[in-house]
Amino acid sequence: MSLSHEPLRRAACAVALACGMGSIAIADEAATSPAPAQAPSPTPSAVPEGWRLDGLGFRNGKSKIHLAGYIQEDLRHYDWTVKGDEEGSLRAPTDELRRLRVGFEGNLGNMTFEFVMDPRSSQAPDRLKDATLGYNFSKSLHLLAGHFKPPVSQEYLTSAGKTDFVDRSMLASNLNPDREWGAELSGEPGRVEYHVGVFAGDGAANTYSADTSVAFRFGVKPVKGLLVSGSFMQGDVTPDPRVGATEPSPKGAHGQTATGYTYWNRAHVKGTRRRLGGDLTYSRGPFRLQAEYLQLGEERKGQGSTGQDIPEVVGRGWNAQVTYVLTGEKKGSTVTPGKSIFQGGFGAVELAARVEGLKFDDTGDSSGFAGYGNRARNIAPSGATSIVAGINYWPSNFLKVQGNALWESYNDPLIAPVPGKTGRYFSLIARLQVMVP
């Protein structure tokens, strides 16, 4: 059997990029290392004015602009196959160039800006990721406009380059809005955080987006290290018109596990789409605990088989996760090694564990036949749960290696990968990430 050279080529590309980043990192670390004590110069040099080189960017006083981005290569191993899927197309691929982000970000005084994209042709029409302009009036008031993530799930608002696991939870992957054009006001007055925004929809690059939507997120810090937040987003969904006898594509949410197996197909929806969620984060030194709940409801006005109104569909997701940095570094938005391998150190190591679940059902009574069709009045409830154990390793501030072990289960034996077997389905996932430090 012949083997594809594509994974090897991508790995070589990542290693070459890592070597380049390593040269820059070594230079930066050398520049920031304490210099030997010297006698003071009798005539102090003047401080240079204007823009100057600063790592992978430029700085001028408090203003700066620098490169941003990362590349991720994922490898997967399964101890199971989907019955009847000889080519493995109903699971995520065993090797994948998962993400390629390139761009820049920075600020000019109080004005902020960011532009990030994925240039691969395979990502069309979703090449544009973030394109924003903002203005900091104060810590309590920031205005942001452009193409970005609406403020809902705390996990989805975390960059994919900084997540604690290779794959986001099912809640974050299936129930959240995607990036959209809009405007938002946010701030942190005292122990409170808030985000309020208006958006053109809830996913500019997809075909199942809602119409104009509003979103807000509110958080409070009752004690040091603890943030408790709630979120809300609402908009109306308008189905595409029929073309002759051809059915339009359904616009409802779908259910898919981290391994790429779909256990809930999109339903035909029309009317209000509403998200309501809550989450908490507790951090203390190298330890972090996070938990989240998110509910998505979608009305189905006139979406029955004969054009009648049928009960709305609701997806309910939850997760809880804990991480601990064994090497002692403080857990922030990411982990920065105290001493990288390029400084003669070991890097940083973190352990992670997560439990989660996501279930879909309709809000009508359960009498009568429960079907699986996307226009069924009584849809059979379908859900999945998973347990994930992981390890994260940062050899330096521009390299990250992740490994996850997953055990997935399904509540309905008829929609499981192997009918009759609800679980547990075991998988291994590894990731190499090279990023701009």
Would you state the structure tokens that stand for residue 134, as one six-digit string?
A: 């903002």
Name the band, by pLDDT with cuts 50, 70 and 90, for residue 6: low
5 falls within a domain: no
Instruction: Give the residue with greater pLDDT, 290 vs 40.
Output: 290
250 falls within a domain: yes
Are 403 and 428 a contacting pair, CB within 8 Å? yes
24 falls within a domain: no
Beta bridge partners of 58: 53, 65
Name the band, by pLDDT with cuts 50, 70 and 90, for residue 57: very high
For residue 45, with 0-12 CB atoms within 10 Å meaning exposed, 13-18 middle and 19 or more buried, which class applies? exposed
77 falls within a domain: yes
Number of domains in the chain: 1
Residue with tokens 């994974």: 7
User: Residue 245: its pLDDT value, please?
Assistant: 81
Name the band, by pLDDT with cuts 50, 70 and 90, for residue 10: low
35 falls within a domain: no
User: Residue 294: its pLDDT value, please?
Assistant: 98
User: Residue 125: its pLDDT value, please?
Assistant: 82
pTM for this predicted structure: 0.87
pLDDT tens readout for residues 218-239: 999 999 999 999 999 999 999 9
User: Residue 15: its pLDDT value, please?
Assistant: 46
pLDDT tens readout for residues 123-147: 778 899 999 999 999 999 999 999 9
Q: Which residue pairs, CB below 8 angstroms and at least 24 apart, start in 281-284?
A: 281/154, 281/226, 281/227, 282/225, 282/226, 282/227, 283/225, 283/331, 284/225
Structural domain boundaries, residue 161: 70-435
Q: What is the mean pLDDT of residues 268-294?
A: 97
**For residue 203, what is the domain's CATH number?**
2.40.160.10
pLDDT tens readout for residues 318-352: 999 999 999 999 999 899 999 999 999 999 999 99
174 falls within a domain: yes
Q: What is the mean pLDDT of residues 29-41?
A: 46
User: Residue 42: its pLDDT value, please?
Assistant: 46
Share of the chain above pLDDT 90, in %: 78
29 falls within a domain: no
16 falls within a domain: no
- Spatial separation of the C-alpha atoms in residues 329 and 373, rounded to whole Å: 50
Name the band, by pLDDT with cuts 50, 70 and 90, for residue 242: confident
Q: Name which of 330, 365, 353, 321 is nearest 154 in CA terms.
A: 321
Arithmetic mean of pLDDT over the chain: 89
Exposure on the CB side of residue 165, measured as CA atoms within 13 A? 31
